Structure 1
Amino acid sequence: MNSVDIALKETLEIGGALGAALVDFTSGMTLGTAGNPHSLDLEIAAAGNTEVIRAKLRTMESLGLQDTIEDILITLGRQYHLIRLLQSHSGRGLFIYLVLDKSRSNLALARHRLRSIEGQLDV
């Protein structure tokens, strides 16, 4: 099992996790997915969330913000969609996408676990 598979497996162990993907936001392509493919098309979600990141980066550039995106949270009625950009040198251009069941998850703990998983990921 490679580092991506291990990271996605650990991501799915986060309380309330429904699906996860490791995505290259320069291309919108997934490097791996985990979860129930019948409940959520992670390939389509990855491509769509790539556009969210690109839009935020353009906005930051327009505002002259010299900063980085740590994560982006999208709160839906029944789910959290968490986008965690990898900050390591080898992870530039990548993000972990995590879908959580809102009623069964702890958002603070999920963010903490994603930081930890990111630190162990070698891509």
Structure 2
Amino acid sequence: MNTEAALKEAVTAIEGAVGAALVDYTSGMALGTIGGDKQFDLTVAAAGNTDVVRAKMRTMEMLGLQDEIEDILITLGSQYHLIRLLRNRSGAGLFLYLALDKVRANLAMARLQLRRIEKELEI
């Protein structure tokens, strides 16, 4: 599945999804976005969450942790923000970003669905 199809799948198949993006964390650039609105600019969110990913990777390196980040969860008052780093070779340096409405979302199911989408994504 290509980027556009994967992002569309994320916002239609995942209950409570309000937006999704595929992001290059080396540049902070969104390679694709879907959803969001004037109050929630996914391009800005993509760039900002790049800093989150970089900070976590630096921290792991300083701690000497020889492990991989599966996902990062940020819990807000009304939303969940889920960052899933891509593991396949063609996805190196990329992450899927998903914003969810906290009231409508099932976090465990969202994580499972995002993992499935990641496996089907072809870059």
**TM-score (ref. length: structure 1):** 0.97
CA contact under 8 A between 2:36 and 2:42: conserved in structure 1?
A: no
1:41 offset after TM fit, Å?
0.3
Task: Give, in whole Å, the separation in 2 of the partners of 1:41 and 1:35.
Answer: 9
Task: Give, in whole Å, the separation in 2 of the partners of 1:84 and 1:92.
Answer: 12
SS at match of 2:23: strand
Give, as a single letter, the amino acid of the residue that structure 2 aligns with 1:15. Answer: E
Kindly report the root-mean-square deviation, in angstroms, between the aligned alpha carbons of the 2 structures: 0.9
SS at match of 2:9: helix
Give, as a single letter, the amino acid of the residue that structure 1 aligns with 2:101. Answer: D
Alignment of 1:20-59 (within 5 A): 20-59=20-59
Task: Give, in whole Å, the separation in 1 of the partners of 2:63 and 2:56.
Answer: 11
1:69 offset after TM fit, Å?
0.4
Give the match for residue 15 of structure 1.
15
- Would you say 1:80 and 2:44 are equivalent positions? no
SS at match of 1:66: coil
**TM-score (ref. length: structure 2):** 0.97
- Would you say 1:69 and 2:69 are equivalent positions? yes
Task: Give, in whole Å, the separation in 1 of the partners of 2:67 and 2:107.
Answer: 23
Percent of residue pairs identical: 66
What 5-or-longer segments of structure 2 have no aligned partner? Answer: none
What 5-or-longer segments of structure 1 have no aligned partner? Answer: none
